[in-house]
Amino acid sequence: MNSTESAVSFSEADTRADEMHRTIETWLTDLQELTDEARASDEFTAWLNIQSRFHEYSVNNTLLIKQQCPNATKVAGYRTWQSEFDRQVSKGESAIWIWAPSIARQCPDCGNAPSYHEKIGCEYDETPPEEWERGIVGFRPVPVFDVSQTEGEPLPNLDTDVTGEGSTLLSSLLDTADTLEIDVDLVSPEEWSHGQTQGVCFPRGEQREQPHVCVKQQSNEAAVAHTLVHEFAHALIHTDGFDNSEEAKREVEAESVAYIVSRYFGLDADNAAFYLASWQRDEAAELLVRLNRIRDTAVRLIDVLERPMTD
């Protein structure tokens, strides 16, 4: 498990699906075993970088992209590059394989497509298959290619409209606090009473109906925005049902969300450090739950923050 090793590929069609599943499971198992080593932090940061570029993709797909093409920035299917971007996949390039949903008519009882519904012997027959609604019945491997594997017309706008200047993101965070049902205070250094920490989040409880975030003001607005995202992450996922024994684990999750969101909006977050030793006793399945929680919270924040920025 090393980002400097050769990227994996899934060239054999007969074993592709199994290898894709196995690659994800191996990465999670390796991360679990390496949580007390610096190499785990490097590997985890590499995944966060991919997740910041593909924030709407599932954890499984960003892990697959990371393992096959760690420097990917924008992926699309072969025909999509041709029809929508007037670009052609370069000769000799290998596909990046990810999971895509299979859409078909679903049995209202067993939830399967007509063929598999018949195969398992489901007895539902109240309505014929042609009247069933369409939905996701499974996932299949599909090939995509990164922009670096293509040539042709320049992309119209590969980056977001927000660059490294922190005031726009900071302003949007403050504007969306009400939408997220979070109370926010920016506190001057003279009035700050929370020691060396740059931000705190007080959970909802008997004396407050919604989480209350306080962040220390400073001249570096990008740093304030990053801290605010960190505390927003706590407010969204760590104010109900988490005991104090998970404090260190929660800090990694919140800082991971802040890293993804900051990088997405063009801020430099390369000095962030992820100390994964607190995850040392987590099973691979628990790690996947944490990765999904990080991803889902980052997606929610990015989506709500982009509205005022693009309106």
Q: Are residues 273 and 195 in the same domain?
A: yes
Q: Are residues 277 and 223 in the same domain?
A: yes
Query: Among 126, 152, 178, which residue terminates a domain?
Result: 152
Rounded Cα distance, 296 and 157, in Å: 25
- The answer to whether position 7 is within a domain reads no
Q: Are residues 142 and 175 in the same domain?
A: no
Q: Are residues 185 and 253 in the same domain?
A: yes
Query: 267 near 222, Cβ under 8 Å?
Result: yes
Q: Tens of pLDDT along 113-122?
A: 887 778 888 8
58 SS3 class: coil
Return the pLDDT at 94.
Answer: 94
C-alpha separations of 142 from 10, 70, 171 in Å: 11, 18, 40
Query: Among 59, 76, 93, which residue terminates a domain?
Result: 76
**DSSP secondary structure letter of residue 3:** T
174 SS3 class: helix
Rounded Cα distance, 149 and 146, in Å: 5
Q: Are residues 292 and 177 in the same domain?
A: yes
Q: How many domains does the chain have?
A: 3
Rounded Cα distance, 64 and 98, in Å: 6
- Residue with the larger pLDDT of the pair 239 and 129: 129
Query: 48 near 256, Cβ under 8 Å?
Result: yes
- Once rounded to an integer, what is the mean pLDDT over residues 152-164? 52
Rounded Cα distance, 182 and 86, in Å: 44
By DSSP bridging, strand 199-202 and strand 183-187 are: unpaired
210 SS3 class: coil
Q: What angle do CA 40, 46, 52 make, to 5 degrees?
A: 135
- The answer to whether position 280 is within a domain reads yes
- The answer to whether position 2 is within a domain reads no
Rounded Cα distance, 60 and 57, in Å: 8
- The answer to whether position 9 is within a domain reads no
Is 70 exceeded by the pLDDT of residue 197? yes
Q: Are residues 190 and 230 in the same domain?
A: yes
Which of 250, 246, 225 shows the shortest CA–CA distance to 237?
Answer: 250
Q: Tens of pLDDT along 215-262?
A: 999 888 888 998 999 999 999 988 765 555 577 788 888 889 998 999
Return the pLDDT at 158.
Answer: 37
CA 278 to chain centre: 20
Q: Are residues 72 and 101 in the same domain?
A: no
Q: Are residues 140 and 94 in the same domain?
A: yes
Return the pLDDT at 209.
Answer: 81
Rounded Cα distance, 164 and 267, in Å: 5
Query: Among 101, 128, 152, which residue terminates a domain?
Result: 152
DSSP 70-138: TT---EE-HHHHHHHH-EEEPTTPPPEEEEEEEEEE--TTT---HHHHHHTT----SS-GGGSPEEEEE
Return the pLDDT at 93.
Answer: 95
Q: Find all residues with CB under 8 Å of 281, minimum gap 6, and list them.
A: none
For the chain, the farthest-separated pair of C-alpha atoms sits apart, in whole angstroms, at 72
Domain with 91 in it? 78-152
Q: Are residues 104 and 53 in the same domain?
A: no
- The answer to whether position 209 is within a domain reads yes
Q: Tens of pLDDT along 53-99?
A: 888 789 999 999 999 999 998 898 998 888 878 899 999 999 999 99
Rounded Cα distance, 163 and 42, in Å: 25
Rounded Cα distance, 187 and 97, in Å: 47
Q: pLDDT-based confidence at 1, cuts 50/70/90?
A: very low
- The answer to whether position 158 is within a domain reads no
Q: Are residues 60 and 146 in the same domain?
A: no
Q: Are residues 70 and 129 in the same domain?
A: no
Rounded Cα distance, 201 and 230, in Å: 9
Query: 268 near 222, Cβ under 8 Å?
Result: yes
C-alpha separations of 44 from 2, 117, 133, 274 in Å: 10, 40, 40, 8
Rounded Cα distance, 99 and 16, in Å: 11
Rounded Cα distance, 302 and 304, in Å: 6
Return the pLDDT at 163.
Answer: 34
Return the pLDDT at 160.
Answer: 31
Which of 47, 153, 147, 55 shows the shortest CA–CA distance to 96?
Answer: 147
- The answer to whether position 298 is within a domain reads yes
- The answer to whether position 3 is within a domain reads no
Average pLDDT across the chain, whole number: 83
Q: Are residues 85 and 221 in the same domain?
A: no
Residue type, 141: P
